[in-house]
């Protein structure tokens, strides 16, 4: 599943590996979900990239919960007035369309103002253009210079990098990223023995195996190799 976000890092669409939209979300200014096409096909990450708890109707911002209905946090900022706001329940000083607070600790811990003319704006432009080389360059630049960007922008950039790495890892099987490894092995002429060799990854999707392989999981790497070579290995 891929995540498509806006400048605040809010997830607007979830798609599968073929670009088919699984879920589309519309928010109001404070993060209330106005419309969602297929909630069961989406994910918990929603407004500004934070986790939505549907049971209580609030978002988890690490240090505390945020209520989109009230447009405020449910508890005081742990940093108190050091957060940079005299109202320690207020969310981003009510500058909701222009800022995020990924940690729930105000300006004292990484709240970021969003501007298309800012450094972060350059990163968003690269993400929207799918310019992987520029994304990597900007992330390296920000690390070296100490430029702080929002959690949403960082997550979107890393997701783009991971998506590219996964596609490269799967190669010609990228179009079947959402199929179970076992199904791919069988459909390509592999044997029951080949499926067993894939271990527990046989019952995961190719995408899940590729994501793990990208992170260095050798068993996932083996499962993908078996899927790719199933035609040659079949019959064993």
CB 201, CB 223: distance < 8 Å: yes
6 with 51, same domain: the answer is yes
Mean of per-residue pLDDT scores for the chain? 86
pTM: 0.49
52 with 76, same domain: the answer is yes
Domain that holds residue 199: 179-233
What is the number of domains present in the chain?
2
Question: Domain for residue 142, yes or no?
Answer: yes
Of the listed ranges 63-67, 103-107, 150-154, the least confidently predicted one is: 103-107
Question: Domain for residue 172, yes or no?
Answer: no
Buried b (16+ CB within 10 A) or exposed e, 184-211: bbbebebeeebbebbeebbebbbbbbbb
User: If you average pLDDT over residues 88-93, what whole number do you get?
Assistant: 92
Question: Domain for residue 190, yes or no?
Answer: yes
Last residue of a domain, one of 114, 133, 167: 167
151 with 210, same domain: the answer is no
Question: Domain for residue 174, yes or no?
Answer: no
79 with 100, same domain: the answer is yes
């Amino acid at each position: 599943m891929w995540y498509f976000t806006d400048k605040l890092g809010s997830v607007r669409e979830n798609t599968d590996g073929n670009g088919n939209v699984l879920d589309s979300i519309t928010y109001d200014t404070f993060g209330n979900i106005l419309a969602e096409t297929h909630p069961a096909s989406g994910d918990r990450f929603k407004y500004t990239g934070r986790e939505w708890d549907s049971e209580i109707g609030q978002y988890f911002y690490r240090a505390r919960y945020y209520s989109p209905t009230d447009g405020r946090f449910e508890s005081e900022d742990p940093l108190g007035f050091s957060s940079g706001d005299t109202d320690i329940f207020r969310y981003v000083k009510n500058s909701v369309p222009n800022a995020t607070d990924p940690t729930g600790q105000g300006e004292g811990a990484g709240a970021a103002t969003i501007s298309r003319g800012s450094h972060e704006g350059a990163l968003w432009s690269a993400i929207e253009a799918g310019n992987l080389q520029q994304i990597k360059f900007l992330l390296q630049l920000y690390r070296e210079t100490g430029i702080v960007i929002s959690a949403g922008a960082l997550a979107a950039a890393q997701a783009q990098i991971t998506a590219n790495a996964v596609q490269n890892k799967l190669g010609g099987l990228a179009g079947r990223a959402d199929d179970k490894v076992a199904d791919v092995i069988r459909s390509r002429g592999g044997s029951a023995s080949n499926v067993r060799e894939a271990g527990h990854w046989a019952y995961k999707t190719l995408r899940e195996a590729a994501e793990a392989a990208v992170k260095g999981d050798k068993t996932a790497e083996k499962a993908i190799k078996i899927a790719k070579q199933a035609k040659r290995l079949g019959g064993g």
